[in-house]
Amino acid sequence: MPAYPVRVSFQSHNNATGALIVNVFNYEVDWLIDPIDYGKVAKDVHDQFAGPYVSLLSSLDTWDQVVARQWEVPGVAPGEGSFPVATLGARAVAQQDLAPACCALISLKTATPKRYARGHVFAPPAYTTAVTAPPSRWNPTGPYFTKVVDVASAYQLGFSTGNAAYKPIVFSYTRLKLKEPPYQFDVVSAAAKNEQHWLRKRLTTP
């Protein structure tokens, strides 16, 4: 069964400002029969995350599409596919009084104790101080952080479909550029961090 390291990005936008929200998850995709269909990969990952991700994404945002792109590793031809979503977020936000750069972080760990074998995913913006807790944390039982935990769990578990198996990985682009394999490492833990984090590029529109 051929195996492909694939970068899957969830692309959303704020309905008022147009600011982009991008979340990236890396998988080793074990595809039953060549050639791999990247559009189907994007749909498979969407279907796995549809419930938890829509529940986390705020009502101020729209999930536009999922894009699956092959990491250009030696011996594997590049490829890309997408799946349109166009779904409004389900987490109700009545008042936006928190900067969109403020969000939770999902920390990814592997069995390799090296910095290049660790990763993270910035969650979508929280937008509201109603889900925060002092000092600079998230309410652990609130509607934001509990949904971040659900997304982290959905990623860590991996999943299978009729023609493919999806294993979460950390992919080291630095090692790829240096041509120093291995480039990918199996995720053993995807943990939502309760501290508030800041993603500066969400302060600008595209």
| pLDDT tens-digit map of 151-171 | 999 999 999 998 899 999 999
Q: Would you state the pLDDT for residue 1?
A: 60
- CB of 131 within 8 A of CB of 143? yes
Q: How far is CA 135 from CA 125, 139, 148, 168, 194, in A?
A: 18, 10, 19, 32, 11
Q: Average pLDDT, stretch 31-58?
A: 95
**Pairing verdict, β 20-31 and 3-14:** antiparallel
41 pLDDT band, cuts 50/70/90, is: very high
- Supply the pLDDT for residue 52: 97
- Confidence grade of residue 75 (pLDDT, cut at 50, 70, 90): confident
The model carries a pTM of 0.93
Cα–Cα distance between 202 and 105 in angstroms, integer? 14
Residue 186 and residue 117 in contact, taking contact as beta carbons nearer than 8 Å: no
Give the span between the Cα atoms of 29 and 4, in whole angstroms.
5
Q: How would residue 25 be classed by pLDDT, with cut points 50, 70 and 90?
A: very high
Round to whole Å and give the CA distance between 63 and 52: 13
**By mean pLDDT, which of 11-15, 33-37, 47-51, 112-116 is the weakest?**
33-37
Query: What is the identity of the amino acid at 62?
Result: T
Mean pLDDT of 14-18: 92
